[in-house]
A = this chain, B = another copy of it.
Amino acid sequence: MKNYGEITGIRYEGKDSREPFAFKYYNPEEVIAGKTMKEHLKFSMSYWHTIDAEGVDMFGGPSMDKKFGKIDPMEMYRAKADFAFELMDKLGIEYYCFHDADVAPEGRTVRESLENFEVMVDYICGLQKRHNKKLLWATANNFGDKKFMAGAATSCSADVFAVAAAKVKSCIDATIKLGGMGYVFWGGREGYETLLNTDVALELDNMARFLTMARDYGRKNGFTGDFYIEPKPKEPTKHQYDFDAATCLNFLRKYNLTGDFKMNIEANHATLAGHTFQHELRMAAVNDAFGSIDANQGDMLLGWDTDQFPTNVYDTTLCMLEVFKAGGFTNGGLNFDAKTRRPSNTLEDILLAYIAGMDSFALGLRTALKIIEDGRIDAFVDNRYRSYREGIGKKIVEGTTAFEELSDYAMNLTDVSVESGRQEYLETVFNNILFG
């Protein structure tokens, strides 16, 4: 196997290639369904996992070193940024995402941290232009530091709320400066450890106040992109308020925040909430809140966020089907919120893992399109609900009937039956298309 340094660019070699550092399914400039593959997929690199995280877990220290031989903090973060944009070049990835804390060193004070961040944003702005990359979205890490241990917008301390606001303000400024079209809220500590010490009503009201102020600040300063809420049910806190898409949507409706806020759906968060990835995407879409995607996969037998690179092509196909049904991405994209397994601790593994994820989504894209072209599944669904396009069904849908009429109608039915749902047949059709 080649070394990281020897690899200049990952190229598409097609499905028969045995070269580890080549794409077998992802052909960025290939046009399918009217757009290039890279336009359909809008792949993004996650700064935190890829550029910062060193393989630490709850039971072990780092398995990688990502200090790039630097000791001075600002120098180290510049080296990280240089590495990041070179990596994106090697992979042919156009977008990236970050938390403020990913790109700049923590200062001794809030002020110093924000200053470090501003300096690094300018540095990244330069890299972005030189490498022709785009910011998919930014976000503030308002969960890592000790001061956020009881929440940020939902902290019991108003001072912490204020610091969180300062950080989000600064990140929104950065998003605008970098031309990002998304801004994400992930409330890692916005929730509770125990209801015994928690005033849920106040905390939810405060969270709404925070998001309202963020929205107002962003709009006032020219941010025209989407705000995203990223649902996750638990971890690190026992319960997080943004449990799943439906919970977030109830919150947004209650506090009149729909429209400005959409969903950033993560596969592994979906399954931790007891849903399929596909389900959460569908829930977002039917509530007019389909936004962006954190592409990864969990281990269905593990109860925490494993953030694995997505390699299950069933899931990537079902995901891309939902993306197509939702009309494709507008401001959003596919961000790999994924990390190599702790024992995959080389730079080569980072490339191999991105290739794994990108090829899996490329296959998912190709298969989703084949399913749509094939038409059998869509036709089945369409036919299944035909009774709502005529007679009593039409009246139901049009709202021109009532229980009295429905009851009379039902009384006169001699036999009421439903057709088979044909799940096994549909799964077979799916497999036949997937495996060709």
Interface positions of A from 398 to 424, Cβ below 8 Å from B: 399, 401-404, 406-407, 409-411, 413-414, 416-424
Q: Given the known A-B contacts A421-B197, A423-B194, A435-B435, are A406 and B161 also in contact in the complex, defined by CB atoms under 8 Å?
A: yes
- What are the residues of chain B within 8 A of A250 when measuring CB–CB? 246-247, 249-250, 253, 287
Interface positions of A from 366 to 407, Cβ below 8 Å from B: 376-377, 380-381, 384-385, 387-388, 391-393, 396-397, 399, 401-404, 406-407
Query: Does B356 contact A428, Cβ atoms closer than 8 Å?
Result: yes
From B114, B318, B402, B414, A213 is in contact (CB under 8 Å) with: B402
Query: Does A162 contact B197, Cβ atoms closer than 8 Å?
Result: no
- What are the residues of chain B within 8 A of A413 when measuring CB–CB? 110, 159, 162-163
- What are the residues of chain B within 8 A of A209 when measuring CB–CB? 396-397, 399
From B144, B301, B404, A61 is in contact (CB under 8 Å) with: B144
Q: Given the known A-B contacts A147-B417, A197-B380, are A396 and B157 also in contact in the complex, defined by CB atoms under 8 Å?
A: no
Give Cα distance in the complex from A159 to B387, angstroms.
Answer: 8
- What are the residues of chain B within 8 A of A340 when measuring CB–CB? 423-424
Q: Which of A31-39, A85-93, A259-267, A269-277 contacts B (4 or more CB under 8 A)?
A: A269-277
Query: Does A275 contact B239, Cβ atoms closer than 8 Å?
Result: yes
- Is A341 in the interface zone, CB < 8 Å from B? yes
Q: How large is the interface on A (under 10, 10 to 19, 20 to 34, 35 or more residues)?
A: 35 or more
Query: Does B236 contact A410, Cβ atoms closer than 8 Å?
Result: no
- Is A254 in the interface zone, CB < 8 Å from B? yes
Give Cα distance in the complex from A150 to B282, angstroms.
Answer: 19
Q: Given the known A-B contacts A360-B431, A432-B24, are A421 and B194 also in contact in the complex, defined by CB atoms under 8 Å?
A: yes
Give Cα distance in the complex from A55 to B150, angstroms.
Answer: 13
Q: Which of A165-173, A174-182, A222-230 contacts B (4 or more CB under 8 A)?
A: A165-173
Give Cα distance in the complex from A196 to B423, angstroms.
Answer: 7
Interface of A is mostly: helix
Q: Given the known A-B contacts A275-B239, A287-B254, A425-B356, are A404 and B58 also in contact in the complex, defined by CB atoms under 8 Å?
A: no
Chain B CB within 10 Å, residue with most, of A25, A193, A355, A421: A421
Query: Does B410 contact A282, Cβ atoms closer than 8 Å?
Result: no
Task: Tell me the minimal C-beta distance from A104 to chain B in angstroms.
Answer: 16
Q: Which of A67-75, A119-127, A128-136, A346-354 contacts B (4 or more CB under 8 A)?
A: A346-354
- Is A7 in the interface zone, CB < 8 Å from B? no
Chain B CB within 10 Å, residue with most, of A198, A251, A428: A428
- Is A313 in the interface zone, CB < 8 Å from B? yes
Query: Does A421 contact B271, Cβ atoms closer than 8 Å?
Result: no
Q: Given the known A-B contacts A15-B436, A60-B148, A381-B198, are A391 and B20 also in contact in the complex, defined by CB atoms under 8 Å?
A: no
- What are the residues of chain B within 8 A of A200 when measuring CB–CB? 282-283, 286
From B63, B161, B312, A314 is in contact (CB under 8 Å) with: B312
- Is A332 in the interface zone, CB < 8 Å from B? no
Task: Tell me the minimal C-beta distance from A176 to chain B in angstroms.
Answer: 13
- Is A41 in the interface zone, CB < 8 Å from B? no
From B162, B239, B246, B282, A247 is in contact (CB under 8 Å) with: B246
- Is A9 in the interface zone, CB < 8 Å from B? no
Q: Given the known A-B contacts A250-B246, A301-B276, A426-B194, are A216 and B421 also in contact in the complex, defined by CB atoms under 8 Å?
A: no
Q: Given the known A-B contacts A275-B239, A424-B341, are A149 and B416 also in contact in the complex, defined by CB atoms under 8 Å?
A: no
List 14 additional contacts besides A58-B235, A313-B431; criterion CB under 8 Å: A58-B58, A59-B143, A60-B189, A110-B413, A156-B384, A157-B417, A161-B392, A196-B377, A199-B381, A216-B403, A247-B250, A271-B300, A274-B274, A343-B418
17 contacts between A and B (CB under 8 A): A55-B149, A149-B342, A157-B418, A162-B396, A168-B403, A196-B426, A196-B430, A197-B384, A198-B381, A202-B388, A209-B396, A247-B250, A250-B287, A311-B431, A344-B421, A352-B425, A356-B425
